[in-house]
């Protein structure tokens, strides 16, 4: 199985990932579930972005008050590799 280190070798993360850090415990409490550790590691390294047709969504974008808004915002990302501020 591939690891985050394998991904980093193939696609180095941005130097300053966008919306990559925050309070995971608060997010999980708001969602009422625990998020996978590998997802949290991915977001911590890459932040908000996209791998071709796969979005890497982050709950730490202050513009998104809840998960539904986060999903709606993701639909508007367009075809970008990684979002920069």
Q: Of 52, 59, 60, 57, whose CA–CA distance to 78 is shortest?
A: 52
DSSP 8-class letter at 22: S
Confidence (pLDDT) at 82: 47
Note whether residue 80 is domain-resident: no
Note whether residue 68 is domain-resident: yes
Note whether residue 83 is domain-resident: no
Note whether residue 84 is domain-resident: no
Domain ranges, residue 9:
4-75
Note whether residue 29 is domain-resident: yes
pLDDT of residue 83 exceeding 70: no
Rounded CA-CA distance 16/34 in Å is: 26
Residue that wins the pLDDT comparison between 82 and 58: 58
Predicted TM-score (pTM) of the model is 0.70
Note whether residue 85 is domain-resident: no
Question: How many domains, in total, are found in the chain?
Answer: 1
Percent of the chain with pLDDT over 90: 29
Mean residue pLDDT across the chain: 78
């Amino acid at each position: 199985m591939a690891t985050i280190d394998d991904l980093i070798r193939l696609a180095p993360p941005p130097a300053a990932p966008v919306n990559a850090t925050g309070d995971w415990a608060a997010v999980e409490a708001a969602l009422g579930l625990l998020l996978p550790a590998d997802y949290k590691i991915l977001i911590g390294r890459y932040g908000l972005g996209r791998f071709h047709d796969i979005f890497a969504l982050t709950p730490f974008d202050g513009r998104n008050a809840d998960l539904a808004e986060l999903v709606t915002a993701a639909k508007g990302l367009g075809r970008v590799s990684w979002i920069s501020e």
